[in-house]
Amino acid sequence: MLDATERAMGNVPFRVTDPECIPAQRYYDEEFYKLECEKLWPHVWQMACRLEQIPNVGDWVEYTNVGKSVIVVRTKDGVKAFHNACRHRGVQLTSGNHGNCKVRGFICPFHGWRWNMDGQNTFVYGRHLFSEKLLDEAALALRTCRVELWGGCAFINFDDNAPSFRECIGPVADRLDAHAVGKLRAEWWYATVLPANWKIAMEAFMEGYHVMKTHPQLHAAIGTLYNSRYGVDTGEVGQPASRNMSVRDNVEAQLKHFELVSEGMAGMVHAKEVEIARQLLDVDLPEDPMQAVPTWYGIVQDQITKRLGAKGEPVPDLNAVAVSDPVEAVEFLFPHYFLLPIFSSMSSYRIRPLGPESCLFEIWSLTLFPEGHEPPPPMEPVVLPYDSQDFPPIPRQDYSNIPLQQKGLHAEGFEFMRLSKDREGLISNYQRIIDGYLAGVAPEKLAKANNLLGGNFDGQIADLGL
């Protein structure tokens, strides 16, 4: 006999019944998209803004997604969030991206009603015209939205009863904390509108299996690394095995890979980290290339820690945290945020749906600065067409595939995507968690399943307990 969860899951349209097969309709069906807007997004933790955008009392940022708008504001008592609607007739109080409300507060553009940064109503024009029951102080206060701070960001949730952010994200939050994620600051911020479902855009970054064809420059630099993970380690696609290369050639190949990732993504490997690595080509290393490369990698991490630390940057001991708190090169935070750490800097992605077959894709380059020497943060993204040559090379290459995939999903006879059970498991795992939200599975069960996504990049299909 089916239990309540199984019965509810059975009612989800285009449900994932085989974890290795994802139905194509999930990426373009209008009703499925509406169900996500109704059942998923109101109950999940969403990255609303970076905290360096609101450093001063009164600073605010507006966050919008699937028709909802929230104001995130720094007050004297900390960061708060409010639903963006006048308590009189529902007009949005802010229609811009950011500002400061310390002096004037939030003023409705329709009738001039006013609220302070704590959400308290401070002015009603023609107050005598209204019944006293409509002017109760508590009733007029702006409606609060749940907000929690982590990783240098404010995360909001429309569900007052949802498990906490850390309960949902799980141990990966602690591991990233050890890598000083909360101290990173944005250098630049890009955005584009992709003609693709938001899940298609995210899944392009849930595995490295695509590197060989999509990012051939990375594969050419250290093909043996990618082949050992996705192909074979004996020279597939014309690449010699690393054990047959000299120590110097192996180290130079690693450096070339760092340079290409830095050029392609900036924060993922920062230029200052590449420069330190470049100065370490001639260090003494074991004669066996298989021992030399990890030894050199450890030396690079040690020197990044010491040299950037000497400049006042709050770099953790990279060798120590690699052992105590290992993270993947891509970490996914359900439902729409990515962090990409390698050394002391990171890149980050945020994807928001704009419709069944359109999404907003944002990229940040994040790095550390000496305290008191942080540059002014970017307050708005540089918005570019998705095929713009002004994007860094790696996202430009990814963006060339994503719209083609969206079109291909409509092809006659394409019923579902066929996933590798060993390397594309993250796609299956997060998709089945989405089904759990659409079915109304207990929040505690969803939070436990969500925990399994940390460190799941290039991972296997998991038993989610749903």
Q: Does residue 85 surpass a pLDDT of 60?
A: yes
Strands 185-194, 382-383: pairing is parallel
* Predicted local distance difference test score (pLDDT) of residue 422: 94
* Predicted local distance difference test score (pLDDT) of residue 232: 62
Q: Does residue 454 surpass a pLDDT of 60?
A: yes
What does the alpha-carbon distance between residue 404 and residue 200 come to, in Å, rounded to a whole number?
A: 11
What does the alpha-carbon distance between residue 413 and residue 44 come to, in Å, rounded to a whole number?
A: 34
What does the alpha-carbon distance between residue 57 and residue 75 come to, in Å, rounded to a whole number?
A: 5
Q: Does residue 451 surpass a pLDDT of 60?
A: yes
Is 0.85 topped by the overall pTM? yes
* Predicted local distance difference test score (pLDDT) of residue 238: 35
What does the alpha-carbon distance between residue 202 and residue 361 come to, in Å, rounded to a whole number?
A: 9
What does the alpha-carbon distance between residue 70 and residue 83 come to, in Å, rounded to a whole number?
A: 5
Structural domains of the chain in order of their starting residue, each with its CATH number? 4-45+166-204+328-451 (3.90.380.10), 47-153 (2.102.10.10), 211-324 (no CATH)
Helices (H), 385-424: 393-408
- Are 48 and 55 in contact by the 8 Å Cβ rule? The answer is no
How many CA atoms does the CB half-sphere of 141 hold within 13 Å? 10
Q: Taking residues 274-293, what's their average pLDDT?
A: 93
294: number of Cβ within 10 Å: 11
Q: Does residue 129 surpass a pLDDT of 60?
A: yes
* Predicted local distance difference test score (pLDDT) of residue 92: 97
Tens-place pLDDT, residues 5-56:
777 778 899 999 999 999 999 999 999 999 999 999 999 999 999 999 999 9
Q: Taking residues 335-339, what's their average pLDDT?
A: 98
Kindly report whether the peptide bond that precedes residue 381 is cis, defined as omega within 30 degrees of 0: no
* Predicted local distance difference test score (pLDDT) of residue 10: 81
Tell me the torsion sign for CA atoms 93, 95, 101, 107: negative
* Predicted local distance difference test score (pLDDT) of residue 237: 38
* Predicted local distance difference test score (pLDDT) of residue 243: 64
Tell me the torsion sign for CA atoms 419, 421, 425, 430: positive
